Structure 1
Amino acid sequence: MLKRLPGGEVRNLVSTTPDTAVVFKPAVVQTPAILTILVFLGRLVAGLVRTLLVHPVAVAVLAVPGVIWVRYGWPTAVAAVTIPGSLLFGWVLADRASFARWIGWRLLAFWRRFWIYRRHWQPVMIVSGLGRHLQGRDYLPRLLRVECDGWADRVTVRMLSGQAVKDWADRTEHLAHGFGSTSCRVAVAKAGRLVLTFPRRDPLAEPLPAVPVPESSTVGPVEVGQCEDGTPYRLKVHGTHVLIAGATGAGKGSWLWSTIRGLLPAMRVGLVQVWALDPKRMELSFGRALFGARYAADPKECADLLDEAVCVMQERADRFAGLQRSHTPTVDDPFVLVLVDEVAFLTAYQSDKGLRQRITAALATLTTQGRAVGIGVMAALQDPRKEVVNIRNLFPDKIALRLDESEQVDMVLGDGARDRGALADHISPVPALGAGIGYVRLETSPEPVRVRAAYVSDADIRAMVAEYGSRSEAA
């Protein structure tokens, strides 16, 4: 330690040898060698135990043959490896999915933990600013766990004390490129812990064929496409309202028609009615026979249809008051889904001020009071700015397809959605690569989910009209 002189006048010291600088060295405490060795051994044992607990399969694959070789010789070790290897190969041929779940992904996680993440952890953390180098020592977030599945790595980390989730969300590009991935998403596991998702491939790169029409007539969540992890995605429409935003050619029609397709059996038996507003006269008009008399394209007809939906809502509210708090679809009181293909044309770009006010008031009434009595609204638009659609916050569930600007992502999905990985502005504009891909943010979860809606072709719509059109017209 530096000895403090009287008055703190260290700078006024005069050396008796003018050519020699005055150097002050801190006191150095020699650590006993035995203590250093014990600390090293303790850390080594703790690391081995942690590796055994986190990666038991990988440790067994590496350690068991070596132990058998030492104790019983190499012929026994070769046999011990060959026989289980043959059984595992047969397992792969018989049921590859279960083998991957129990063995394959665990071995891959073990390999990628040490070769990809552990090897690059220190430089990526320091360069990205998530780690600190103070007084010759690195303070790094702790790498806790790596899990793999068919499309991505999920890395669990413990943040440094004092760090915030935003510190990591602002550096997703640094993390993605540092670990050799195309993107990175940040999710909170619990206080102080995050889960970083690094995709290894894109399961949604290819267009999806139309989902088969369900056999049962359910109003529950309808299957509209596929999640990024390969599982089917079911969109809830009963008991909520859905807003879909995307640029021209982003695939809004895939979401609309996949939803209609999933509701066809319920429409046939009278449990669901779809009321279609199609001011562009292009998308929904192709299957007009499915909607019967409840189709409108002219702005005045759209306003009248919305007013009729408000009347149905108010009549049900009067009957349900004091008797029930939620809606159960029946033939007498079916679930009514109001589809609006281009809502901005009706609420912002409509030249008739009276019609514009009527339509805006009706949509606001339906989105604030309709879901409790079985009236849902699904609206699609291209421009998500508030001056265009000032009722966008009345939609609990939101879907962001390809957008032109990064700021529009938070306009649609809410503040912080893009920081959590909803990169809707990075979706490819090429229809085959990006049409129908979007990020879904539900009322019940702040984390965006990447989904691709199935493509419903013209031939699919014609087949739907041919089979279900007559029943809808009669209704």
Structure 2
Amino acid sequence: MFRRLPGDEARNLVSTTPDTAVVFRPAVVTTPAIVTIVILAGRLLAGLVRTVWRHPIAIGVLVVPSVLCWLYGWQTALLLIAPLPTGLAAWAVVDRGSCARWVGRRLLAWWRLIFVYRRHWQPVMIVSGLGRHLRGRDYLPRLGKVTCNAWADTVTVRMLDGQAVKDWADRIDHLAHGFGAPSCRIQVIKAGRLVLTFPRRDPLATPIPALPVPAVATVGPVEIGRQEDGSPWLLKILGTHVLVAGATGAGKGSIIWSTIRALLPALRAGLVEIWALDPKLMELSFGRALFGPHYAATPEECANLLEQAVKKMQERAARFGGVQRSHTPTVEDPFVLVVVDEVAFLTAYQADKDLKRRVSAALATLTTQGRAVGVGVLAALQDPRKEVMTIRNLFPDKIALRLDESEQVDMVLGDGARDRGALADRISPNPGKGAGVGYVRLETSPDPVRVRAAYVSDTDIRAMAAQIGEAR
């Protein structure tokens, strides 16, 4: 009645009705021992080659002394090896940076690969849900190369088939705590491969004093602070608009004044005009002499100044139409930077509906049409909600300083920014540790970059205003 199937036969049937579930055990094919040995030996050899290729210095430090001891005895090996650590110590004294880059960090990367990431990889992946334990076997993402720089570890990972980047982004806290790091950031390098960044220390923990005034007038990207990797933070202002969001005391003034300070030579040369809107009458009033007639404090003055900027923009557009598509600052047509300290005071909290309408219309016009003719907007606000700032998507470049809620991070930097590691809601409220610290998301890149703006004191601002006053 039943046909034999490979591997087993039907047995213990109690019913012959058509809907009876019949379960057969699959056939088990025994793998020859020699095949298993060859596979394991091949994997071992491939692992050794990969380890030597990735960590030649660490392997050499272990293998060379062992071989010398085995061939010549420990006394001779000690005499042969002694010059090496002596030379490394001298190298570290003479040029510590290059020694750390070529030797120290390679050894550190090997150490952390073996004793941190590989040691904890399986439990962290299983507990966090990024790995699977099925039928007695673990299916884990593949741990790749580990490299170290001065402040963080970068770990290359190959995801499991069927995983998405969001699966990892939702578990950045699990990964950070699992490997003993304060945070974790995720970057996609190509399909199926990620780079995880685990900071070992915070290079932005201490305030940065005001940077020196540039010696050369420039309107290009201006240096206003430092990035987390130690490189200068260059803020692009020509050909874009910048939105800065942060809670009270987060350091919005540091970004505004560092930008103005970097533009000081161009301001003296007549290549830049700074139009300042200071509805709070606190932040920009210290440097009022820097702005000349282009300073507004009351809502009525702010609306008038914005409309003057729109008129100037439209006049330039009429002259440039059909002649040029981008603007190069000159003395005749300088770059105009409109700085608004608390834009929400004018667009959301303004009781006068007519003034509110005028300000919103002028800002929308400037942010949609001003880039090509050399008119940029640098706006700061505390509350990034859509009903407060309806035109926030018109700012290509965005900066998130310390924020009160995790949801506000994506409001400022765009969807998915927090999942990629922009933890602006976790920045310390301590002014010494967190003021001026934030995350930048540029129009050209979806990955947020952690930065800190230099602090420009009241004394520095008065000195800047005095220099401009003397030049005028």
Q: Does 1:256 align with 2:256?
A: yes
Q: CA deviation at 1:3?
A: 3.6
Q: Which residue in the other structure is 2:86 paired with?
A: 86
Is the CA contact (8 Å cut-off) linking 2:8 and 2:26 kept in structure 1? Answer: no
Q: Does 1:161 align with 2:148?
A: no
Q: Which residue in the other structure is 2:269 paired with?
A: 269
Q: Which amino acid aligns with 1:220?
A: G
Q: Which residue in the other structure is 1:204 paired with?
A: 204
Q: Does 1:222 align with 2:222?
A: yes
Is the CA contact (8 Å cut-off) linking 2:7 and 2:28 kept in structure 1? Answer: no
Q: Does 1:305 align with 2:316?
A: no
Q: Which amino acid aligns with 1:444?
A: T
Is the CA contact (8 Å cut-off) linking 1:273 and 1:336 kept in structure 2? Answer: yes
Q: Which residue in the other structure is 2:67 paired with?
A: 67
Q: CA deviation at 1:34?
A: 2.2
Q: Which residue in the other structure is 1:382 paired with?
A: 382
Q: Which amino acid aligns with 1:69?
A: C
- Equivalent-residue separation in structure 2 for 1:467 and 1:438 (angstroms): 30
Q: Which amino acid aligns with 1:232?
A: P
Q: CA deviation at 1:41?
A: 1.1
Q: Which residue in the other structure is 2:237 paired with?
A: 237
Q: CA deviation at 1:78?
A: 1.2
Task: Give SS of 2:82's match.
Answer: helix
Q: Does 1:342 align with 2:342?
A: yes
Per-residue deviation, residues 326-371 of structure 1 (Å, max 9, x unmatched) = 1111110111100000000001111111111111111001100101
Per-residue deviation, residues 88-111 of structure 1 (Å, max 9, x unmatched) = 111101111111111111110000
- Equivalent-residue separation in structure 2 for 1:464 and 1:91 (angstroms): 43
Q: Which residue in the other structure is 1:33 paired with?
A: 33
Is the CA contact (8 Å cut-off) linking 2:329 and 2:374 kept in structure 1? Answer: yes
Q: CA deviation at 1:466?
A: 1.7
Q: Which amino acid aligns with 1:52?
A: V
- Equivalent-residue separation in structure 1 for 2:378 and 2:25 (angstroms): 72
Per-residue deviation, residues 279-335 of structure 1 (Å, max 9, x unmatched) = 000000011111111100011111111111111111111111111111111110111
Task: Give SS of 1:249's match.
Answer: coil
Q: Does 1:105 align with 2:105?
A: yes
- Equivalent-residue separation in structure 2 for 1:324 and 1:140 (angstroms): 56
Per-residue deviation, residues 247-292 of structure 1 (Å, max 9, x unmatched) = 1111100000000010001101101111000000000001111111
Q: Which residue in the other structure is 1:353 paired with?
A: 353
Q: Which amino acid aligns with 1:219?
A: V
Q: Which amino acid aligns with 1:299?
A: P
Unaligned segments of structure 2, at least 5 residues:
1-5, 17-22
Q: Which residue in the other structure is 1:399 paired with?
A: 399
Q: CA deviation at 1:24?
A: 9.2
Q: CA deviation at 1:420?
A: 0.3
Q: CA deviation at 1:467?
A: 1.6
Q: CA deviation at 1:11?
A: 6.2
Q: Which residue in the other structure is 2:20 paired with?
A: none
Q: Which residue in the other structure is 2:10 paired with?
A: 5
Per-residue deviation, residues 141-185 of structure 1 (Å, max 9, x unmatched) = 001110101111000000000100000000000000000011111
Structure 1 residues 331 and 62, CA gap change in structure 2 (3 angstroms) = same
Q: CA deviation at 1:77?
A: 1.8
Task: Give SS of 2:399's match.
Answer: strand
1:131-210 to structure 2, matched below 5 A, reads 131-210=131-210
- Equivalent-residue separation in structure 2 for 1:10 and 1:131 (angstroms): 39
Is the CA contact (8 Å cut-off) linking 1:289 and 1:470 kept in structure 2? Answer: no
- Equivalent-residue separation in structure 1 for 2:432 and 2:443 (angstroms): 30
Task: Give SS of 2:467's match.
Answer: helix
Which shifted more, 52-61 or 391-400?
52-61
Q: Which amino acid aligns with 1:280?
A: K
Structure 1 residues 291 and 33, CA gap change in structure 2 (3 angstroms) = same
Per-residue deviation, residues 179-212 of structure 1 (Å, max 9, x unmatched) = 0011111110111100000010101111111111
Q: Which residue in the other structure is 2:279 paired with?
A: 279
Per-residue deviation, residues 425-450 of structure 1 (Å, max 9, x unmatched) = 11111111111111000000000000
Per-residue deviation, residues 33-74 of structure 1 (Å, max 9, x unmatched) = 222222221111000000011111111221122222223332
Task: Give SS of 1:399's match.
Answer: strand
Q: Which amino acid aligns with 1:451?
A: V
Task: Give SS of 1:230's match.
Answer: coil
- Equivalent-residue separation in structure 2 for 1:169 and 1:317 (angstroms): 44
Q: Which amino acid aligns with 1:364?
A: A
- Equivalent-residue separation in structure 2 for 1:24 and 1:232 (angstroms): 67
1:409-448 to structure 2, matched below 5 A, reads 409-448=409-448
Task: Give SS of 2:195's match.
Answer: strand
